[in-house]
A = this chain, B = another copy of it.
């Protein structure tokens, strides 16, 4: 709706005239004269609301309009989808997917891998124990840790490669996710324990142990057993008995490690902030969200994503720009909805659920990335556990090692790019660099979004962020899916629809 800033307006002119007494008088007289006419005048000088000169700017109704149109469009797409494909939602399939078995196999490689993950965790704890009591020296200890962590990261790659077609894509994907998270968690665990050892060596006291700071601290630490004797029975009281902070190496036990492995954070700490009680209504809501939300994501995936991805394959392969763009945009909507649901489910519902169950008090899992005006702010705020890990365990240590901040940023960026590639390439068994390239693409995109933010205002910066999110993901998905089909089924089989 075009608006005119430069035009003088009738009303303004009339207003200006008011300062002149004579003009005002004339105007009043004119008004009186007109209203006394027998033709019942009903017109007076006014501007249209869309004219710049009208000073009108209440267009809030159009926000409702936008969301209504979005809702109608979404509902129509849903209807079109059901007419075209019928109901494709099949909850049974998901149990097969999650167990990792494929092609009717009775093995559950995902579950086996999850169970196996205890091995590197326990190994890690044992190495730390050894380091604490100085059976193992610092140098070899670190080598053991690196070997242990590397072996852990490689394990799903090897299993997925060996199992070949006996491993479902979804099952493989979440196992990789789990192993990547475990890697970050154990990295943090090892580093924090190293800090503690360094600190202990520095201010060792006559008894050969660090002095203990005794103070009031209401925690329900994993080392409960030890402390419970000191805690009054009624731990609902705010100012109840003084509890001690756990000190190194008292933290090196299985309960503490497993509390940390299950806790919704990637940064190890000896004394996590704790809540005093489990809010039952909060817990029930989160459980319902996880249960219902998972069904929604799965349904979206089966009903909308799979047909869209399959339909895009041929235009994408033929490099038909118009059709491929149309398919890409059609894919963008269910993909984006799924991503939003997935975000809410994992970062709000699931992590809060775990936090509530474990009395873990820090629930700052995500910032307000939806308002971010440039790509950098988005990356810094959408995934706070990973961001906090990257700052605490990669960026600051690299800077403390004497490197510049740029080197530290680049290191963080490359490790991040590696894990993105790991999470996609390993399950798909196609070692293409699309995810890596996607990450690299963030650099010029970040520069672009900053320029847009400065030149066109924060709103447009925010729009660039959203656009990169909505369009970038399906583009990567299409590239991977295309290469996956080409690699595993050959060019001739591009029509084969039995691939998930």
Contacts and interface: CB of A to CB of B under 8 A. Distances in A.
A49 B368 contact: yes
Contact of A348 (B48, B80, B82, B268): B48
Interface in A29-45: 29-30, 33-34, 36-45
A230 to B, nearest CB: 15
Interface in A187-230: 192, 195-196, 198-200, 213, 215-218
A46 B362 contact: yes
A51 interface: yes
B39 A333 contact: no
A414 interface: no
Nearest to A50: B348
A326 B51 contact: no
Interface stretch (A1-9, A147-155, A161-169): A1-9
Contact of A48 (B6, B20, B365): B365
A63 interface: yes
A289 to B, nearest CB: 6
A462 to B, nearest CB: 5
A271 interface: yes
Interface string A8-25: 101001001100101100
Given A239-B22, A289-B2, A368-B61, A43 B82 contact: no
Nearest to A11: B361
A170 interface: no
A285 B26 CA distance: 33
B466 A392 contact: no
A459 B61 CA distance: 8
Given A17-B238, A64-B462, 5 more contacts: A39-B196, A42-B269, A48-B347, A68-B463, A73-B329
Contacts of A467: 68, 72
A403 interface: no
Interface stretch (A99-107, A121-129, A171-179, A274-282): A274-282
Contact of A38 (B47, B198, B217): B198
Interface string A313-350: 00000000011011001101100100000001001100
A372 interface: yes
Interface stretch (A52-60, A418-426, A442-450): A52-60
A370 B37 contact: no
Interface string A425-450: 00000000000000000000000000
A37 to B, nearest CB: 7
A442 to B, nearest CB: 19
